[in-house]
Every structure is written in C-alpha cells, then in structure tokens.
Chain A
Amino acid sequence: MNVLLVLPLLVPLATAVAGILLLRVPRAARAASALGAAGLLAASIALLSATLDGTILVTQAGAWPAPFGITLVADRFAAAMVVVGAVLLAAVVASSVRGLDAARERAGFHPLVHALAMGVSGAFLTGDLFNLYVWFEVMLMSSFVLVSLGGEREQLTGGLRYVVLNLVSSALFLAGAGLLYGTVGTLNMADAAVALRAMPAQGTTSVVAALFLLAFGIKAAAFPLFFWLPASYHTPPMPIAALFAGLLTKVGVYALVRTGTLVFDRDRAFTDPLLLAVAALTMVTGVLGAMAQTDVRKVLSFHIVSQIGYMLMGLGLGTRLALAGTVFYVLHHIVVKGNLFLVAGVIRRVGGSFSLDRLGGLLTRSPLLAAAFLVPALSLAGLPPLSGFWAKYLLVRAGLEAGHGAIVGVALAVSLLTLFSMTKIWAEAFWKPAPEGSDPAPLGAGERLSLLGPVLALGAVTVAIGLGAGVLFRFADAAAAQLLEPGLYVRAVLGARGGGG
C-alpha cells in the first residue's frame, strides 16, 4: 500500500539521478530514461488497479500523522491521472530518440523530463496544499529549463513569458495558501475541508477560493490569463512541447477540480457561475485564436486553450455526470494533445516546415503519417467513434440536464470550429500538392520506429478509448462519485476524527 503511493515519485527521481550521473554517456542515459519511463508506467498501473474498487490509498510520509506531516493520497481520479501522464512520458521519451538533437540530449533532457514527471505525479498524489505548491515548483523548475534548453532566440523570448506568468501564478497560490492557513490553521486538504465546514460562512473563504481559482486558472491557461501559452509552447522541440501540451495545463485543471470539490465546495454558489463564464470564453477565444494561425504549432497551442474550456465547463456544472465528463475529458485530452504535438514534429521532419504555406503533399509522401494525424485531430474535434466524441457528449448531456443551454451551444459551435481548424491543417499540409522547391525527405527505418511508433501507439489508445467508451465512462462516473463525496477522502486521510465533520 505504502510502496504503491511513493513509487510514482521514487522511480522518476531515481531515473533523474541516473540521468545526471550518466550525463557524459548519452547511450546509457537514454537506456536508463527508457527504463525509468517503463517503470513509472508499471508503477502507476499498479497504483490504479489498487484504487479501482474505490479504495482511497493514503500514506503519511515520515510516519508523521496528518494533519502535521505530508499526506499522499490516491483516489480513482488521481491514480488515473498518474497513469495517463506516464503513458505520455513513455511516448515522449521514445520519440526523443530521433526527434531531439544530440546537443539537447547532452544538456540534460532525460534527467529534466523525469524530474518534470516526478513533479506532475507529486501534484496528483499530494493531500496537502503547501506540498502541492512545492510539486508545482518542482514541475515548473524543470519546465523552465526544458522550455529554454538549446537557447535559441525564439525559445528565450517564449520562455521569458512562460516564467513571468507562472511566477505570478505561484505568488497568488502562495498568498491563497497563507490566507487559508490564517483562517483555518491547516493546509492539509482533508483537515482544511473539515475546518471550513465547521465554520460559519464568511467572506474570507470566498477570497481564498478566488485566489486559488486565479492561480490555478493561470496554470491551466484559462481565459483571460492564457496568453503565456501560445507565446511559448511552440518554441521548444516537439517532444518537449508534447509533454508540456499534454500534461502541464492539466495539472492546473486537476488542482481546480481537487480543491473545488474537496476544500471549497461550500463556495460553489460563487465559483460555479464564474467557472462557466470563464469556460465559455476560454473555448471561444482559444478556437478563434487558432483560426488566425498558419503555423501548425501555433494552431495546436491555441487549441489547448480552447479545450481547457470544456474541462472547466464540467467542473462549473458540478453535477455527477458533468464531473464524470471532466474526468473523461482530461484523460482523453492528455493522450490526444500530446500526440498532435508529436505528429507536428514528424510533419516538420518530413515536410521540412511548420508553416502551412510551405507544407503540402504529405498524403502521398507518407500515408502512415496522414493516418497518424487524422486519429487525434478528429478526436480533438469530437467526431464519433473517437474518444473526443464521448467526452463532448457527456458534457453536452450534463449541460442540457442541468438546464445550461447557452454553454452547450457554445461548446457545440466551438467543436465545429475545431473541426474547421483541423481540416485546415489536413487540406494545407496533406492534401494540397507540395509547393515548388520543397525537397522530400523520407524517413529512415530508425526514424519510422522512433517517430511514428509512439504516435501510432497513442493513436491506438485514442481509438481504444473511443470503441470501449463504456469502460472508461463507468470509471469516470465512479471517480466523479468519489469526488462528490468528500467525506470518504477526509475519513481516509484523518481516520475516525474526520468522520463527524
């Protein structure tokens, strides 16, 4: 029990250490990195299977009892997030073999991605708000270096925006944590939930809830604080961008869901309408931003923003079905979005450019790549029977049941525009004849394995989720039920003491 909870932190740490020690032996570092990614995947699957029956696993680090020590908690939602993160990490490590230049690999790519993975797993598993802050910093510090690794001019300007906005977000988070500690005297999430419930409603808690909303909103790239994302995500090499695109903003969404359902569930009368408005605006601005772009990477970056809106919509609606929709959406989206960025890397490699004006003829040049693009692209737009369709279907149905017709209309319109945007990439990069002067660069055998292999594997996951949607839906529904029953979480962490609260 204990071991399962710490393994998703220990395996990436051990791998990062091995990567540092083997910095001068790139071959060995790469092997260690692959081994570590596989190990994290295995550990996370073991963790998930232990939570499937509804058990909430808890361990108190250093045997300091909650709420004094640091608690690690895994319920269904947290464990599933760790698994999907590990899946994406494995794909990114595999595609970095050929998708990343040797200089960046020698500069410490492998230890950095595993340190990032440790931060992400830690953020999913922690049961303490200050510890969550620490994991955010672990994650951000590795991502600061990763985003500027290589030191190209474009990367540094993008990296600067990324750093500044994320530091603002961290400061707001810290301010919120300070206020909460001043109000209830604890930062253990379960303990804070009990303390807040025992208190008469007051303005301070709404202020704290708003601060957390703002801080996590920046990390999740929600409207109106998303502009750092399209300014920086297209600059690093695609394996790194894929990891960022798939995971980092979703940690913000996870933190919003966790604190919204567990700690601040009494402030929902105030936060829910706000979340719905933010969700609608995020969807619309993201998709409109994407339509104006002609660089594949920028189109995809704006779509991250737009998709975050859907996840927030489920949280804002707040019903069990809507939360299940959010859980489903996040899990499906991490795979799809990471995959699209990896595909963009292959498009650049085969077509010689990221710009839609200079691309063309990829359908005849690499039919396999065309298939690898279509699966996640159509899933992103929400076409049946792919995973994105079911995710959107759940949210739309939840919205109609809750009587929020307006946001359902927005969600459907945005999904149509997403389809438009994906067909634009398809028509320009794949269908249109290759422009004059472009020289075809077919993939070698090793590149096929390293670049197309992970992309096709992630595509297979998307198709599998789409065809077996019932299985994932039942899981998401059970996870949502667990989220809406904070008493279970509190009892698991605090034991009998939290039972009465």
Chain B
Amino acid sequence: MRSVILSAAARLLFPLLLLFSVFLLFRGHNDPGGGFVGGLVAATAYALLSLTGGVSSARRVLPARPEVLVGTGLLLALGSGLPSLAAGRPFMTGLWAGFALPVVGKPGTPVLFDTGVYVTVLGIVLLILFTLQEEDEA
C-alpha cells in the first residue's frame, strides 16, 4: 500500500532525523544520548525511505553496504582504543586533544568509540531490515 502522505513526509523527515541522530551522538558524552541511540535514529531515517520507496531507494542514499558499515564501525571502535596503547596507558583509556572545537568541545577517543557504535548500530539494523524487506519484495 502506498501512502502519499507518508512518502511526502519521509522526504522531509529524512534529513531531520539524520541531523537529530548526529546531535544525539555528540550530546551523549554528558547527557542522555550516545552512539547507540544515535545509530537507531539514523536507521529509522533509512527505514522510512525503504518503507515508502522500496529497499533500492534507501540503498541508493546509503553511503556503503550495511555489512561494510558494520565493519567500519567496529574498526572505528577498535581504533579508539589504540592511541592509549601507543601512549603507554591501559587499553581504552580516554585521551583528549589539548584544544577545543566550537560547539562540540574537546575531541577525544571516547567520541571516536561512540561514532563506531553509531555506525555499527546503523549497519546492523539496516542489514536486518533490508534482508527481511527484500525477502518480502521478492
């Protein structure tokens, strides 16, 4: 069943949801939010597209295949633990840069880890969703 209202709304909501997911990701360091919720919200954005325009339309705007996203996310999370080892500190010790960026604050390894979680969650949810939907469409 196609709904005109839903497809029109999806196009408007898609960028908003993505923006909100990034906001959640950065907010998560000190307040409720973080990579996991951010990733889920971003996945909802793509889910809306795939529900209204089919999986292929959602895949077109996704930067990489979902399984590649999972791998990249895990790689980012893994990479966030390595600087502490190089600095001779225990694995996963949080390290921060000496300078602050406007709006987001001091960049550090925890936000890298959270970004990894964000990308992994996005990839996993879409992998599950797309597989089920494509089975349904076929």
**A contact set with B: CB distance below 8 Å:** 2-3, 5-6, 10, 13-14, 16-18, 20-21, 23, 59-63
Contact = CB atoms under 8 A, between A and B. Distances in A.
A62 B94 contact: yes
Contact of A2 (B71, B90, B94): B90
B71 A62 contact: no
Contacts of A18: 71
Contacts of B91: 2, 5-6, 10, 59, 61-62
Interface in B70-103: 70-72, 74-75, 78, 81, 84-85, 88-94
A126 B92 CA distance: 15
Going nearest first, the 6 A-B pairs with the smallest beta carbon separation are A20-B71, A21-B71, A63-B93, A6-B91, A62-B92, A17-B74
B129 interface: no
B93 A6 contact: no
Contacts of A6: 81, 85, 91
Given A2-B85, A6-B85, A21 B90 contact: no
A20 B70 contact: yes
A5 B90 CA distance: 10
A70 to B, nearest CB: 9
B75 A17 contact: yes
B58 interface: no
B17 interface: no
Contact of B90 (A14, A23, A63): A63
Given A2-B85, A3-B85, A23-B67, A62 B74 contact: no
Nearest to A60: B90
Contacts of A21: 68, 71-72, 75
B68 to A, nearest CB: 6
Q: Which of B68, B81, B89, B92 has the most CB of A within 10 A?
A: B92
Contacts of B74: 13, 16-17, 20
B94 A10 contact: no
Contact of A17 (B78, B84, B88, B93): B78
Nearest to B82: A10
Nearest to A63: B93
Nearest to B123: A20
A446 B90 CA distance: 44
Contacts of B72: 21
Contacts of B67: 20, 23
A13 to B, nearest CB: 6
A196 B91 CA distance: 30
Contacts of B70: 20
A3 B70 CA distance: 25
28 contacts: A2-B85, A2-B89, A3-B85, A5-B91, A6-B81, A6-B85, A10-B81, A13-B74, A13-B78, A14-B78, A16-B74, A17-B75, A18-B71, A20-B71, A21-B68, A21-B72, A23-B67, A59-B90, A59-B91, A60-B90, A61-B90, A61-B91, A62-B91, A62-B94, A63-B84, A63-B89, A63-B90, A63-B93
Contacts of A5: 91
A61 B92 contact: yes
Contacts of A10: 78, 81, 91
Q: Which of A13, A18, A20 has the most CB of B within 10 A?
A: A20
Nearest to A13: B78
Nearest to B68: A21
A61 B75 CA distance: 18
A301 to B, nearest CB: 32
A62 B92 CA distance: 4
A59 B85 CA distance: 12
Nearest to A2: B90
A14 B74 CA distance: 9
A43 to B, nearest CB: 13
Contacts of B94: 62
B22 to A, nearest CB: 23
Contacts of A13: 74, 78
Given A20-B70, A21-B72, A23-B67, A62 B78 contact: no
Nearest to B72: A21
Nearest to A23: B67
